[in-house]
Amino acid sequence: MAKRVQVVLNEDILSLGKNGDLVEVAPGYARNFLLPFGKALPVTPAVLKQVAHRRAKQAEHEAALKQEAIDFQTALVTIGRFTVKKQIGEDEVLFGTVTNGDVAQVIQEATKKEVDRRNITVPEIHRVGSYKVQVKLHTDVTAEINLEVVSY
């Protein structure tokens, strides 16, 4: 059986790994595809040092993003309640429903900071009242806000 070769990936390769990963591949695959096309580098001490430095910088960046999300979560909780105005019919039933886009717009108006509507989970809202809405700010940080639906 042939010996395996270690390489460091320069880009994400679906079947192997992500950029910066140290992987073992067949020698022919490395020699004929990965190395000539610049998709990987042979393992050397200098390359391993660069990979470690790149990972440290990325971890630092991720920590900064998480802290920013925690600060924004605190700001959302401090505001307390967000109000959405909708047209209502008989028995305080809404025409239509409150969407995650409506909630994103209300948050942006109140905080001057944009939140992606795809990260907002809104329960089924068809009546006037108070509701709890989940806003995912980061992979580890989720804020729960109070949403007040009123008529205009």
pLDDT digits (tens, 9 = 90+) for 23-65: 999 999 999 999 999 999 999 999 999 989 988 999 999 999 9
| Structural domain boundaries enclosing 114 | 68-151
**What is this structure's pTM?**
0.73
Same domain, residue pair 56 and 74: no
Tens-place pLDDT, residues 64-94: 999 999 999 999 999 989 999 999 988 878 9
CATH number for the domain harbouring residue 84? 3.10.430.100
Point out the domain boundary residue: 17, 47, 62.
62
Question: What's the CA gap between 115 and 105, in Å, rounded?
Answer: 8
| Residue 52 near residue 60 (C-beta atoms within 8 A) | no
With CA atoms as reference, report the closest residue to 34 among 46, 45, 22.
Answer: 22
Residues 57 and 86 both lie in one domain: no
Closest CA to 51 of 5, 17, 9: 9
Indicate the number of domains in the chain: 2
CATH number at residue 48: 3.40.5.10
Average pLDDT over residues 126-134: 93
Residues 27 and 85 in one domain: no
